[in-house]
Amino acid sequence: MKVISSIQKNLTTLPPSIYLAIAVLIFAASNSVISKLIEIGNYHLVNGQNPISSCNVLFVGNICALALMFLLFHQDCKPTTVKTLTRQDWISLTITGILSGAIAPWLIFTALEKTNVTNIVLIGRIEPILILALSVWLFDSPVNFWTIGGSFISLLGVIITALLGSSGEIMIMGKFQIGIGEILVAIAAIISSISTVMGKLQLKSIPIGIFMIYRNILGTVIFFLLANILYGVQHFGQVFSPFLWQWMLVYAGVIVVIGQLCWLVGLKNATSTQLNLSNLLNPIAAIFMAYLILGEVPTMAQYFGGSLLFVGVILSFMGNLHQPKPTPRNAMETPMGFKGV
């Protein structure tokens, strides 16, 4: 912990915008990197199996992320602190851990095998819209005309992307098609939005370290059990492959460690405008990374839907321009897209 604190102290010499920009670029590349790693694994089969399967990546990646969380937040996990949690706290933490730590990531990783990264990025933008709606409904959060208009236009962009830019596997009313991958991303966004709102409630009384570490541990265990039930034990047959671990250490070091560290350092002194701008630029950066890493060229449907999403996010950005800076706890859970395992 002293090492991490020392690193964070030395890094604060640069403007927070630099660290937020680095974090945004790293998080934006996460989906594309995962797809690329799975593709690399297909060319290095071990006993006929891809060692870098989506399940292995999620399982091993969670273990790597857990090590980082213990370094960052072990002070929150003292026995005296843990004992202060009530039975209701543990029940709500368990629900959140299963939803956001196991089910949502599994849906996203499965979607990566069904559709392209650009669709995942665009359709995943439904999450901030749902969080806004839930916050207004449950917390009476203040909302203005710009934010409402931006959310409506963004939702229209998501619908257009899902119906016109999908992989086309399920017919709707005999006219439009929507793929399994797009459906999985939408479900993951719904689950993530619910768990994020629940998390905001929990963080009022639960230390962030306990919240993140318990969610990670529970999510890893539940995912492992779920994958064994659905696919069988042999699905993790190559989980100890050196080829898998050498790539996961690189992934964890860049996406998890450097990305999260830059995000933590950046949000400490960032203004509300800078944080909102990070949220605005994330989907654009993610689509660019998909083109750069995977060679994915957006379709006309994705250009059209993405343009509406971009307009909607700009309007929402204008609406949030004068909002007070969120607390570090809320900023940690900013729905800016997939931020690594």
- The 3-state DSSP class for residue 239 equals coil
Average pLDDT over residues 80-90: 87
Which has more confidence, 9 or 47? Answer: 47
Average pLDDT over residues 186-207: 82
**pLDDT over threshold 80, residue 172:** no
Q: Please name the residue that has the structure tokens 């060319």.
A: 43
What per-residue confidence (pLDDT) applies to 341?
Answer: 47
Average pLDDT over residues 320-331: 57
**pLDDT over threshold 80, residue 170:** no
What per-residue confidence (pLDDT) applies to 71?
Answer: 79
Share of the chain above pLDDT 90, in %: 1
**Alpha-carbon span 340 to 211, nearest angstrom:** 17
Most confident of 207-211, 257-261, 314-318, 326-330: 207-211
Q: Which residues contact 340 (CB under 8 A, 6 or more apart)?
A: 26, 27, 30, 61, 65, 251, 255, 256, 259, 260
Please report which confidence band the pLDDT of residue 323 belongs to, taking 50, 70 and 90 as the band edges. low
Share of the chain above pLDDT 70, in %: 82
Average pLDDT over residues 268-282: 71
What per-residue confidence (pLDDT) applies to 168?
Answer: 47
**pLDDT over threshold 50, residue 182:** yes
**Alpha-carbon span 115 to 151, nearest angstrom:** 24
Task: Give me the chain's average pLDDT, please.
Answer: 77
What per-residue confidence (pLDDT) applies to 187?
Answer: 92
The DSSP result for 190-216, as a single string, is HHHHHHHHHHHHHTTTS-HHHHHHHHH
The DSSP result for 158-191, as a single string, is HHHHHHHSS---EEETTTEEE-HHHHHHHHHHHH
Average pLDDT over residues 214-238: 82
Range from 7-16, 135-144, 164-173 carrying the lowest mean pLDDT: 164-173
What per-residue confidence (pLDDT) applies to 233?
Answer: 75
Sign of the torsion formed by the C-alpha atoms of 108, 111, 113 and 118 = negative
Q: Which residues contact 335 (CB under 8 A, 6 or more apart)?
A: 127, 128, 131, 192, 193, 196, 279
Q: What secondary structure letter does DSSP report for 51?
A: T
Average pLDDT over residues 317-333: 59
**Alpha-carbon span 151 to 139, nearest angstrom:** 18
Residue-wise pLDDT tens digits, 24-38: 899 888 888 888 988
Residue pair 186/60 in contact by the 8 Å Cβ criterion: no
Closest by Cα among 267, 261, 260 to 338:
260
- The 3-state DSSP class for residue 46 equals strand
* E strand or H helix that includes residue 146: helix 145-164
**pLDDT over threshold 60, residue 7:** no
Most confident of 5-9, 269-273, 277-281, 287-291: 287-291
**pLDDT over threshold 80, residue 111:** yes
Interior/surface letters 228-241, b for 16+ CB within 10 angstroms, e for the rest: eeeeeeebbbbbeb
Average pLDDT over residues 45-53: 82
The DSSP result for 321-340, as a single string, is TTSPPPPHHHHHT--SS---
What per-residue confidence (pLDDT) applies to 173?
Answer: 45
Please report which confidence band the pLDDT of residue 11 belongs to, taking 50, 70 and 90 as the band edges. low
Q: Please name the residue that has the structure tokens 């990566």.
A: 112
